[in-house]
């Protein structure tokens, strides 16, 4: 019998970092080259950014990707 793998969920602190800098979703979107809808979806957990976009976001906030995005494991 195969061992069950935990469900991996990507969580993020994008809203917190954006609020700390007093940026609107539109301003952040322009800075990283996406639409406001993309920022809304990432913050809401409905969309996981590509690796390239995650790096652009981390570079904009001058931090490591792991400071913004992390993985939460859940047993099924």
**Whats the size of the chain, residue-wise?**
76
Q: What is the pLDDT of residue 28?
A: 98
Q: What is the pLDDT of residue 72?
A: 87
Report how far Cα 35 is from the mean position of its chain's Cα atoms.
Answer: 14
| R_g of the chain computed on alpha carbons | 14
The CATH number of domain 7-74 is 1.10.3720.10? no
| Rounded Cα distance, 62 and 60, in Å | 5
Q: What is the pLDDT of residue 2?
A: 65
For 67, which DSSP code? G
Q: What is the pLDDT of residue 76?
A: 63
Chunked into runs of 10 residues, the chain (76 residues) has average pLDDT values of 78 97 98 98 95 98 97 78
- The domain spans of the chain are 7-74
């Amino acid at each position: 019998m195969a061992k069950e793998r935990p469900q991996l969920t990507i969580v993020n602190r994008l809203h917190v970092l954006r609020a700390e800098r007093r940026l609107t979703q539109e301003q952040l979107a322009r800075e990283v080259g996406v639409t406001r809808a993309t920022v809304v979806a990432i913050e809401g957990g409905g969309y996981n950014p590509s690796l390239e976009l995650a790096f652009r976001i981390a570079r904009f906030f001058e931090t490591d990707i792991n400071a913004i995005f992390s993985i939460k494991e859940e047993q099924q």
